[in-house]
Amino acid sequence: MEIIIITGLSGSGKSCVADILEDTGYFCADNLPPQLITKFAEICRESPAIEKVALVTDIRGGSMFLSLPERLDDLREKGFNVKLLYADADPEAIKKRFSETRRRHPLIDMAGGDLDKAIAAERDILAPMKQVADFYIDTSVIAVSRLKEHISELLSQDFSGTMAITCMSFGFKHGIPGQTDLMFDVRFLPNPFYEENLKQKTGLEKEVRDFVMDSDVTKTALEKIGDLLDFLIPEYVKEGKSRLTIAFGCTGGRHRSVALAEYFRDELKSKGYNAGVLHRNIGEQGGR
């Protein structure tokens, strides 16, 4: 049975992630203390109708939450296929969400009523979970309509012992991604935005890809970035890294960065790597 444990910062969209997984066939439970996870999983395993489970556990569990790493080890020892998904967001996005929902941060009293301190304290507590997470999602600037596609792409990657590589496209005007290992600014490439027949298209469409890729400067950039990745990725593998995010950023995140993320996903897959792609801002309008 497949189990996804969802954790992360308060206000980062964990419940929204669980709702999306529930819509795709996962049996979901929210705010489950880690001490109950193993028993809950064993009960679910007794039901032939339940094949996929997603559980949300977080700082709302108080001191009980700190035992999550031990519970994950316990599940794996009992033969469960368990993965940890970490949801994150930048402080400004979190503060805005708490303001809109008028909910209290779980650590607000401990922080003397200071929301900034509460967010910082929670981030420190969760740092070890973030480091060992199998999946990472930064929801700071991702629209709900795009979040489902992001999650589907993440979960489609194979975790059979090989490092999972995500090629991400994004737009600098929408903010820098919170979790990347390598980042390439591709705003120097030819920009389809200024071509009237390409402006409303995206890097997923052949006309845009051809416009970007046929440039001599793009060809040179692809070669040099490719050489760098050929050197770096095996070194990351030697270090035992389980996931790698390579981000490509243009202005709006709809044209050049998308084309390059698609290109390098295909290149890495052709070399035998477990590579996927995420387009963070492809649905955003405007930008260049």
Give the tens place of pLDDT for each residue, 86-121. 999 889 989 999 999 889 999 999 999 999 999 999
Query: Which pLDDT score, from 0 to 100, does residue 288 have?
Result: 60
pTM exceeds cut of 0.75: no
Q: Is 6:44 a contact under the CB 8 Å cutoff? A: no
pLDDT grade, residue 218 (50/70/90)?
A: very high
Run of H or E residues at 250: strand 243-250
Q: Give me 33's structure tokens.
A: 């203390």
Does residue 251 sit in helix, strand or coil?
A: coil
Query: Which pLDDT score, from 0 to 100, does residue 232 have?
Result: 96
pLDDT grade, residue 160 (50/70/90)?
A: low
Least confident piece of the model among 43-52, 216-225, 226-235: 43-52
Q: φ and ψ at 211, to 5 degrees?
A: -60, -45
pLDDT grade, residue 161 (50/70/90)?
A: low
Q: Is 278:135 a contact under the CB 8 Å cutoff? A: no
In 3D space, the residue among 123, 153, 161 whose CA is nearest the CA of residue 137 turns out to be 153
Q: What is the mean pLDDT of the chain?
A: 90
Residue 230 pLDDT greater than 80, yes or no: yes
Residue 268 pLDDT greater than 80, yes or no: yes
For residue range 33-70, what is the model confidence (pLDDT) as tens digits? 998 999 999 999 999 889 999 999 999 988 889 889 99
